[in-house]
Amino acid sequence: MKKCSHTAHHTLSELNITPLLDLAFVLLVIFIITTTPIVNDMEPTLPTASKHQKDPTKDAYYITIDANGTIWMQKQVVELEKVQSTLATLRAEMAEEHSDLGVIIRGDAKTKYGRIREVLDACQSANVVKVELQTDPAK
């Protein structure tokens, strides 16, 4: 008879590091891909753009607002309530010619912005989509 039997149980004395190495390599690849290289070795001379403003459209309709808030349409003083109806009429006439109405708003530098906003709202109410604000070119 056997005095003692050998059991199949033995302690695991080795640590399997293969999954740990796989994780380390994946993290290394992720860090290499996501880091951006630092490129400060030279400063290129970039081209400069001209300060030429685009020419207004030939069918542009000008609305001018002076420093007092008076609205001028084609050299005539107009009340704010009349702006929307005039623009709607002009837009309907332009639609017959198969072209869109373009409006250029020229506001004095001392005009309160609220007055310009009211004219912009009138343009939107008249369904005029080509609206530009004229400014002086940068120096």
pLDDT tens track for 46-66: 566 666 666 655 667 888 888
Both structure tokens of 4: 């003692």
CB 104 within 8 A of CB 74: no
- DSSP label at 104? E
pTM: 0.56
| CB-CB contact of 90 with 103 (8 Å) | no
Query: At which residue do the structure tokens 């008076």 appear?
Result: 70
| Interval 82-97: pLDDT, tens | 988 888 888 888 777 7
Q: C-alpha angle 69/74/80, rounded to 5°?
A: 40
Confidence of residue 34 (pLDDT cuts 50, 70, 90): confident
Domain coordinates of the chain in residue numbers?
70-133
Token duo for residue 120: 């912009």
Strand arrangement of the beta sheet that strand 71-73 belongs to: 76-78, 71-73, 60-65, 102-107, 130-133
Q: Assess whether pLDDT exceeds 90 at residue 26.
A: yes
